Chains A and B, each alone.
Chain A
Amino acid sequence: MNWLNWLSDFFTDPDHLSGPDSIAHRVSEHLLLSGEALLYAALLAVPLGLLIGYTGRGVTAVTALAGAARALPTLGLVTLAVLLAGVGDTAVLMPLVALAAPPLLVAAVEGVRGTDPDVRDAARGIGLTHPQVLRQVCLPSAAPTLLAGFRTATVQVIATATVAAYVGLGGLGRYVIDGLATRQYAVTVGGALLVVLLAVSAQLFFALLARFALPPGLRAQQRPR
């Protein structure tokens, strides 16, 4: 058996072409779970981060929290959440949200703090209220940093959502975990490659977004990561 055989086996298996175990269905499950986790994380972290960045209060706490969150093993969180809350989307979403929230929080804080103080003062000077300054001045100027934060969070969530299959959920991790359990490397390797492909596509998507969707005045000031 070699790589080409494995891949052709994997991609031509009729079960993988249609039905509940099809590649299209697994990819959509994977994207749905990842998207849901990112949505909740963004709703939680972005407004809080913008506020913390604007007021400058609690910045140290955010940095410490983000560092500590890096040490949390997602596999441990996922298995513990499932044992405590039962198998289901909620149990797996909680660790994924916990994974995605810190980079978004840090990006929002850093982005707002990176706004040129003179521009902020000028905006206040011409009569904008604090909420207006935050929305019309700080938010656009934080956009590149926020986008970079979303890229990090998305890639991490897509990678980690694979682990969700271990506790019985769908997504591309199903192939990886089931293939390992039944010693069918064709399935495992095929699933692994699809996850890699998805993660790399997400990277590319955000790179393109940063290039084309940002206001032209902001593109120049992006620093390479």
Chain B
Amino acid sequence: MDDEPIVRWYWIGDHLGYLGHLLADHAVIALVPVLIGLLLAVPLGLACARYPRLYQPLSAVFNIVYALPSLAVFVVLIPYTGLATQATVMIPLTFYALAVLLPTTVDGLRAVPDAVRQAATAMGYGPWHRLTSVELPAAVPYLIAGLRVAAVSSISLASVGALVGRGGLGYLFVDGFQRTFPTPIVAGIALIAVLALAVDLLLVAARRLLAPWAVREKGAGS
């Protein structure tokens, strides 16, 4: 591997279609779980904000879930979901996303000042109307901060799925390593970084659009 350059550009030129296909697969595997995580986090977060007793045990559970090594979880799921299936990788990623999004949702809902809530009630808003037009919009900056962390981590984690046969761009790492050919690895790292950056910028743009009042960045709650 002494004469092998780190990047052979012609390989990238020859494989553009292939790289595009892996990129699309990666985006699905990594981002659909974040969307599902969001759909689960909002109702769960509402329940937790209303019943704080529920939040304590749930947040403890998700703290542990977040610490579970992704490769180990993929492997444990294989007997149920099969080798090299999307589900094997997407189910754990959904839980990781939920583990990030639940605390941020609860923080966001709790951050609505009581005065605002009371003002909405005084103006004649019912509980449902108040939720959809006052409390959820106020939580949007928090939700988006959480989504940024969840999406970027998910994009990077999904590549580990290549070790169990389904990792989108992660396949390039396995392929390049087996052939002692660094070009696909470099291409994979670069495309994952580009995908993460693109999603991050989209989310920042979404925050500008949905929550123009939130000029400063709200705590992401790592």
Contacts and interface: CB of A to CB of B under 8 A. Distances in A.
B78 interface: yes
B144 interface: no
B152 A71 contact: yes
B1 A83 contact: yes
Contacts of A202: 67
B198 to A, nearest CB: 11
B68 A75 contact: no
A177 B163 contact: yes
Given A72-B189, A77-B189, A199-B68, A188 B75 contact: yes
A24 interface: no
Contacts of A152: 222
A180 B163 CA distance: 9
B173 A76 contact: yes
A225 B197 contact: no
B72 interface: yes
Q: Would you call the interface of chain B mostly helix, strand, loop, or mixed?
A: helix
Interface stretch (A44-52, A135-143, A157-165, A209-217): A157-165
A158 B71 CA distance: 11
Contacts of A179: 75
B189 A162 contact: no
A83 B71 contact: no
Contacts of A185: 78-79
B8 to A, nearest CB: 13
A195 interface: yes
A73 B177 contact: no
Given A75-B162, A83-B182, A163 B76 contact: no
Interface size class for chain B? 35 or more
Contacts of B180: 83
Interface in B98-157: 103, 148-149, 152-153, 155-156
A76 B159 contact: yes
Contacts of B79: 185, 189
B27 interface: no
Given A155-B67, A189-B75, A71 B176 contact: no
Contacts of A146: none
Given A176-B72, A203-B63, A67 B152 contact: yes
Contacts of A225: 63, 103, 221-222
A173 interface: yes
B72 A166 contact: no
A196 interface: yes
Interface string B64-97: 1001111111011011000000000000000000
Contact of B69 (A70, A77, A167, A196): A196
Given A83-B185, A193-B72, 9 more contacts: A71-B193, A73-B188, A162-B71, A176-B71, A176-B72, A176-B75, A179-B75, A191-B75, A196-B73
23 contacts: A67-B148, A67-B152, A70-B149, A70-B152, A71-B193, A73-B188, A73-B189, A75-B163, A79-B173, A80-B176, A80-B182, A83-B177, A159-B69, A176-B71, A177-B163, A180-B163, A180-B164, A185-B78, A188-B75, A192-B69, A192-B72, A192-B73, A196-B73
The 6 closest A-B pairs by CB, nearest first: A159-B69, A71-B196, A192-B72, A79-B177, A73-B159, A76-B189
